[in-house]
Amino acid sequence: MASKTAVVNREERGSSIKRQEPNAVGNFTGNVTSIWGRFTTFLGEVRSEIRKVVSPSLKEVQATTTVVIITVFIFGLYFWLTDLVFSNAVRQILHKLAGE
Q: Which of 7, 2, 37, 28 is nearest to 19 (CA)?
A: 7
Measured between alpha carbons, how far is 96 from 100 in angstroms, rounded to an integer?
A: 6
Q: How many CB atoms lie within 10 A of CB 15?
A: 9
Measured between alpha carbons, how far is 89 from 95 in angstroms, rounded to an integer?
A: 10
3-class secondary-structure state, position 72: helix
Reported as a single tens digit per residue, the pLDDT across 56-97 is 999 999 999 999 999 999 999 999 999 999 999 999 999 999
Reported as a single tens digit per residue, the pLDDT across 6-61 is 554 555 555 555 555 556 555 666 676 788 888 999 999 999 999 999 999 999 99
